Amino acid sequence: MNTAQSISTLAQDATLQGEAVPKTVQTNSSKANLLGMTRAELEAFFEQMGEKKFRAGQVMKWIHQFGVTDFADMTNISGKLREKLVNIAEVQAPEVVHRHYSKDGTRKWVFRVGEGEGSLVETVLIPADDKTGARKTLCISSQVGCALDCSFCSTGKQGFQRDLTPAEIIGQLWVANQSYMEDVPVGDRTRTVTNVVMMGMGEPLLNFDPVVASMSLMLDDFAYGMSKRRVTLSTSGVVPMIDKLAQTIDVALAISLHAPNDPLRNELVPINKKYPLEQLIAACQRYIAKDGNESSRKHITVEYVMLDGVNDKAEHAQQLLKLLKDLPSKINLIPFNPFPHAPYGRSSRNRIMAFQKTLSDAGFVCTIRQTRGDDIDAACGQLVGQVADRTRRAEKWKQKVASQHNEILRTQSD
Ligand code: SAH
Ligand code: SF4
């Protein structure tokens, strides 16, 4: 049984909500996948074909804004060029093997990006009403698994498998946008996702070039045209790469802090042993200082997961105040999302509110992340864990049935 089939068995399992998506034909072709190409790369691609550079912008609009993957439907391109493209290029998004749309508007997809149960990544869309209307924030994965092994993170527990390609990263945004456009005539299609956070599976700064290429497509007016304030990269603190990011692209930065002192952070976020807090805070200050006028870089978002009795005490809030006193920052408290065998519990609502009050009273903007999409495990790495788990169980069950079947055949022939 292949993964897609086992996942359709899984969909019948009441505990795993959502919809297994029938296997689509995946080409293993040597054609160039235009989905993940930046404007500069596409321009070079067309120039190599002896075509004008402006074709890049035209094709990008078809792909990213109208969701068109068939060159035959790209009507402002000459028939001859369309024919050439069919022979050498394709537009291939990663394969969706499971999706679930929650009652509260949260949507979640599991993509298969290779063979075997370890090759699944997930993407979550979380809607929120803000002052300007409906905000839709998409949480995108950058790697299959993660090597950094933070002690509270389900992705970390899965280990590192591989980096995602630019097509697999931007493909997550493409699929999420498409999910609102399927029934909309091509001419009326608009971009739906308003914000992107690189907060799915993986450490984006350890997959630098593909992540930067994908973010440049998010910002590009011929693709998603998003404001740089609305594209956020989250890192656990790969210090040299924060500086490299500052020199490469303008996006908002979030850091996964989670602890206000080195001994505790060494335990929760092991990369802290390599780049301790002093270095991390200095890198954040440089990130802001480099271009203080840029609205995307006026402050850093500090993520702080609330672990019951571990990092949520009054003394931790005091230490945090000291640590962040010279860093323009907004603090986002994240109630811990438990997963099977997790060694932590979620801090109580009262604890979280008391922690928030200390920080707000000192003048920090401090928000508590709403736990939405709980009915579909909308937290980093968790649905993938569940799908893989069920896949293993379905496989075991299949083996058991097969061996019983063989046993029956054997006894019948005796
Ligand atoms: N590797 C990057 C981005 C992916 S993790 C990073 O660490 O920043 C995205 C966010 O989810 C991080 O802040 C991470 O600490 C948080 N997170 C991971 N596991 C979590 C859990 N079980 N509950 C709540 N937040 C979690
Ligand atoms: Fe990796 Fe981020 Fe999870 Fe840490 S929190 S293991 S860096 S994905």
Q: Which CATH class is domain 32-90?
A: mainly alpha
3 state SS for 240-293 = HHHHHHHHHCCCEEEEECCCCCHHHHHHHCHHHHCCCHHHHHHHHHHHHHCCCC
CATH match of 7-15+94-405 with 3.20.20.70 = yes
From the list 79, 42, 97, 95, the residue with the least C-alpha distance to 64 is 42
Contact (CB, 8 A) for 392 and 117: yes
The vertex-287 CA angle with 284 and 289, nearest 5°, equals: 105
In whole angstroms, give the CA distance from residue 406 to residue 393: 20
In order along the chain (414 residues), what is the average pLDDT of each group of 10 residues? Answer: 28 49 60 97 96 96 94 94 96 94 90 84 86 82 95 91 96 94 76 92 97 98 95 98 96 97 98 98 89 70 97 98 96 93 94 98 92 50 49 47 52 48
Q: Quick check: 303 and 291 in contact, CB under 8 A? A: no
The secondary structure of residue 43, as a DSSP letter, is: H
Q: Counting atoms of ligand 2 from 1, which one is nearest the CA of 154?
A: 3
337 assigned to a ligand binding site: yes
pTM of the model: 0.87
| DSSP for residue 230 | G
Whole-angstrom Cα Rg for the chain: 23
Ligand 1 atom nearest the C-alpha of 202 is 1
Does residue 156 line the site of ligand 2, with CB under 6 A?
yes
Chain-centroid distance of CA 132 in Å reads: 24
Q: 12: burial class by Cβ within 10 Å (0-12, 13-18, 19+)?
A: exposed
Instruction: DSSP letter for 64, please.
Output: I
Query: Which of 256, 271, 332 most suits a substitution to test ligand 1, by most atoms within 8 Å of the C-beta?
Result: 256
Is residue 380 annotated as part of the catalytic site, yes or no?
Answer: yes
Question: Is 348 known to sit in a ligand binding site?
Answer: no
Catalytic residue check, 122: yes
Whether the Cβ atoms of residue 312 and residue 351 lie closer than 8 Å to each other: yes
Return the DSSP state at 21: P
CB count within 10 Å of CB 328 equals 14
Residue whose structure tokens are 């004008």: 52
Q: Does 146 carry a binding-site annotation?
A: yes
Find the farthest-apart pair of alpha carbons in the chain and give their distance in angstroms, rounded. 84
The domain ranges of the chain are 7-15+94-405, 32-90
Q: Ligand 1 centre from 363 Cα, in Å?
A: 25
Residues 6+ apart with CB under 8 A from 352: 306, 312, 333, 335, 368
Residue that the structure tokens 């997809």 belong to: 109
